[in-house]
Amino acid sequence: MGVIKVGTSSWADQSLLRSGWYPRSANTPAGRLGYYAGRFPLVEVDTSYYAVPVPETTQGWVDATPAEFTFDVKAFSLFTGHPTPVAALPRDLRPATGPSRVRRRDLPERAYDELWSRFRAALDPIAGAGKLGVVLLQFPPWLVRSAAAERRIVELARRCRPWRVAVELRHGSWFDGRAALDTVELLRTNDLSLVCVDMPQGNPSSVPPILFTTAEPAVVRFHGHSDDWRGGDKQEKFRYAYDEGELRHWARLLSELARPADELHVLFNNCCAGQAQRDATRLAQLLTEHELELAQRADRRPRPGRQPGTADQPDPARATTGR
């Protein structure tokens, strides 16, 4: 079984800070990240979606975390086709006139290339420390499957190399019937990780949870199953607590998914008042319990050339891990 790393999407959203999950002693950005990294081996950086951080900031993240910690970093919104507030751009790259939100076509090629250069510079300290997991390309719900869209995915991934890249697709056309096989093959051919998403079904932006490894690492993101997904605000969409039965079910599925993978990243995005941290902690425990149970079963099974009771014992750190 490959290493399973469990974490959450963000470590500093306002509802988490207000929830009391952090002790009073963790009262600085570095202190909070250090406290988080003492409990989870993985985090998803979402702030990079809203603005390109500066290298001094990302170096601070590196310095606040242990050597084996991993950051999955979400790509800047403009790169993946989301309308982006002009105010989110660096001052020297903002258009002098025009709408308050821009897309790639609204920027000169020089400015767009410079944005990528600064994004890569921001990730350099993380990658240089061996702490960069994947760059997450999360595409908008309106990106319909087409040859042009496929070329766009490949082009954006090329700009991220040599780093690992994960792709989250959010339009059902990518997974409708035979299209699912073609999508998997597209990602596998281009060495891109398919992001499996657990989310409410039956909505215009719903995609099915495809548990398949197309590249290393495998990636699964948990959005929850809020009844307010279609019409609620951001807080309402992601306000969801996974129950014990759901987490046990996912522990079994994730253990299976991890078998052919070297590494599996599991991220809880139900970020509302510390719920993601609670669910991630419990899933980490269940994954370790599940691996121990499998090992005990194997220990009881006679094997050629091995005496009963001598089966290798699992390393809980490979199963997940909140520490």
183-228 confidence digits (pLDDT tens): 999 999 999 999 999 988 887 778 999 999 999 999 999 998 877 6
For the chain, the first-to-last Cα distance in angstroms comes to: 19
Percent of the chain with pLDDT over 70: 90
Query: Which helix (DSSP H) or strand (DSSP E) does residue 220 occupy?
Result: strand 218-222
Phi-psi region of 153 (alpha: psi -120 to 50; beta: other; left: phi over 0): alpha
What pLDDT score does 319 carry? 37
Q: What is the mean pLDDT of residues 17-29?
A: 93
Query: Beta strands 193-198 and 84-85: pairing type?
Result: unpaired
- Decide if pLDDT at 73 tops 90: yes
- The CATH H-level superfamily of 3-299+313-319 is Protein of unknown function UPF0759 (3.20.20.410)
What pLDDT score does 230 carry? 65
What pLDDT score does 311 carry? 34
Q: Tell me the torsion sign for CA atoms 151, 153, 156, 161.
A: negative
Query: Beta strands 218-222 and 42-45: pairing type?
Result: unpaired
Q: What is the pLDDT of residues 144-159, one digit of tens each?
A: 999 999 999 999 999 9
On the question of a cis peptide bond just before residue 217, with omega within 30 degrees of 0, the verdict is: yes
Confidence of residue 236 (pLDDT cuts 50, 70, 90): low
Who has greater pLDDT, 64 or 2? 64
pTM of the model: 0.89
Q: What is the pLDDT of residues 260-318, one digit of tens each?
A: 889 999 999 987 788 999 999 999 999 999 888 877 877 776 655 544 333 333 333 33
